[in-house]
Structure 1
Amino acid sequence: MVPVFRIAFTAAFEIAVRSFAIGVLLGWSLPAGVHAADDYVLGPGDTVKISVFDYPDLTTEARISESGRITFPLIGSVAIAGMNPAEAEKLIARELSDQDFIRQPHVTLMVTQFASQQVTIIGLVNKPGKYPLEKASTTLSELLAMAGGVAPEGGDKAVLVRSSANGAKRNRIEIDLYGLFEGDVSKDMEVKAGDIIYVPRAEVFYVYGEVQRPGMFPLQRNMNVAQAISISGGLTPRGTDRWVKVKRRNSQGEIQTETVELGDMVRPDDVIYVRESWF
């Protein structure tokens, strides 16, 4: 049985992926000549292709150095890190004009490789890896859409690891994906270059004894014992839902066996045992 959360989650991602198909997703798959968003901030490691209208000999592809500079014909070294593409175009055009090389040049800059502004997403997503931030503001939901959504085994929470401004400390932020895709936009936080997003495996529980399909199952939010038995296929003809036992760890980590009611909540890693009816 597919959890309701997973159905809604997948549907949300399908919509998001369609909206990205022409822009971000196809742009990411192109090997060269990719137009960055107007607010993308150029940085060391990015590769750019610069051309000047009517001057094909000046077409240059260069990687921005660690000092934030590129070398362009006629004008030499130019610092463009920290600018968006439009600002870099204006700077190069101004230099060509001010140094009396070209009167009123029309300069075009394209980012062919995004390397300076990247986010890493790992764990239970369909396409883990590094993704470029092609605009100044990218949200978690947009990043997850780029990664193809959460895999069927993925949980309904994510962990964001972010380094402090000086890099001395790493902060860990837990994000409620269930709440996000239920419509709580406050949880759709903005991701930043260098962030690591981890989607862990979903929490699970186990059912054995007199049920149709004993085994391990993903734990849904606010699931009770009756629902857990239903997910495992329900009772066999010999089973009873009375005196259901569960093995679980206490706060000291010790495994204890308890008798539970059908309305009791299931906890992560619970082992539920359904007894055989005596009558």
Structure 2
Amino acid sequence: MSNALDRPKRMILLTTGLIVSTVAIIIDPQVATARSSSIEVALTSAETSAGASETAYILGAGDRVRVDVFQLPQYSGEHQVLIDGSLNLPRIGSVPVGGMTLEQAAKAIATKYASARVLRDPQVTVNLLTPRPVRIGIAGEVNRPGSYTMSREAREGGTGGQLPTIAQALQLAGGITQAADLRNVRVSRLQGRGSKQTITVDLWQVIQTGNLGNDLTLRDGDTIFIPTANQINLAEAPQLAAASFSVDRNRPINIAVLGEVRQPGTHTIQGQGQPGQQGAGLPTVTQALKAAGGINPLADIRKVQIRRRTHAGSEQIVEVDLMQLLQAADFRQDLLLQDGDTVYVPTSEEINLAQASQLRSASFAPDKTQPLNITVIGEVFRPGPYTVTGSARTGQAGVPGGTGGGESVAPTVTRAIQVAGGIKPLANVRQVEVRRLTSTGEQRTITVDLWKLLQQGDSSQDAVLQEGDTIVVPLATAQDPGEAAQVAAASFSPDTIKVNVVGEVQKPGIVEVPPNSPLNQAIFAAGGFTNRAENDTVELIRLNPNGTVSRQEISIDFAQKLNNENNPVLYNNDVIVVGRSSLAGISDTLDAVLNPVGRFFSIFTLPFTLFNLFD
């Protein structure tokens, strides 16, 4: 019987190819037998391979496919995989295809047509038109781990499109965290018949080389796990932050800033810009320090720590050197922060005035216009607590600071002394102390040498102040008159001092003269001696720092230069007494004796004077 069927078939083959195709696949139901072993299956798909790790597409509920039976359009058409994972096809009804690849589904359909004795040796092709929405799970170092549903992206000018990739899935999950290990991304995928495959993907190659072959296309049911990096790589961090699947850099984040900053605590910062751009405003370490009011002068910016909690619950600690950022423009040190980070600025173990001077102009230095509460004690004209700002100017004795024009500068030791009325003549400017509390409550003492500032222009000696500082100006045990003149001309000395000149001068009273002026300058300011003055000697009365009063007879010699014997330096509130000459003293004594006699004779001669008037 088989031979009888084969003979007509061979005869038709000799006559016409068109009839061959039709007759060869239409089977008499009474004689048809299934020949599944000889089924020829052609497989096409809208998907392209993404590399060795790509696997065949697995059909599931919601997929839209096209089933083509060669030369039989009545059996061909578009179908959707039903919720039970089956296709409802003409003549044969339901065919289970859920969990199968396209090739397996084509074989199953061909087998069903053959076993139902509808077609013999059917050539079946299954094409994927529109895949179902992809349901995936994302875990690990992403901002919003969880379950997501992703739709297929439509192609231009046609149906279908491309399956979503890992990078697109990470974007949907809010982007990766800065602790992500992109070299070992794991994708778990269900295979046919319940098996599971784990694929390791190196997304770092996508960033480095643009090799999209590593950006695996996803399938329904895939699970993506982003592991935690063992340590943060400062060199790779900017590239990681710039990736398309990184976190949105412009969204606000909450961070904590502790240690040597002006306003420690929790802060919210928001970035705008691109990594590696100076001043771009990204949520970086320096932006966090700005939000915390800037660093204190005692900050050790070489060892700033960023403490970061991973999604696994462990803590990562990375140390950055912001001095490298200032000196070498190493932007890798200005690490991009993420939500929940803690920035800790330690206290410097050794005080380096030169480095502290550099910090005053850093972008993360304290706001220069913010007032500071400080105390100035010792050899200044008005010791006590003060509020100073960077806008203070050189002050007069009795004028607490003021506002000056131009750009603001940070409040320093000399500005605090200015606000306190300036130093006294006996101040020891070589050993001025700044007493400062650290963030842990420990007191540190910084000794500054303002003489170096005057002599060498060493501006590092003019230390920047911070909230709560106490400046102590000690008393000098001895003073060189030559140095006194230079100190008197300094910006932190008062503009004038007050000296009281009494006695035989033209304009007795209080006069104002420059600090460290010699005695003769005060006498000149009082108009000079009268003709009754003892111009050889004067008396100098001085209130000493210990509360005692000293009196000194000075032999005047205005031809002499500044010296303690003949023309001493004057201090604030000194009193100069100019006495009478000996001749003036005798004259005054005679006047005191003769004045009563003169008054007597004046009374005795009064009637005669009146008589002469009427004569």
- TM-score norm. by structure 2 comes to 0.25
Which structure's residues are more often helix, by fraction?
2
**Bigger-Rg structure (1/2):** 2
Report which structure shows greater RCO (CA 8 Å, sep ≥6): 1
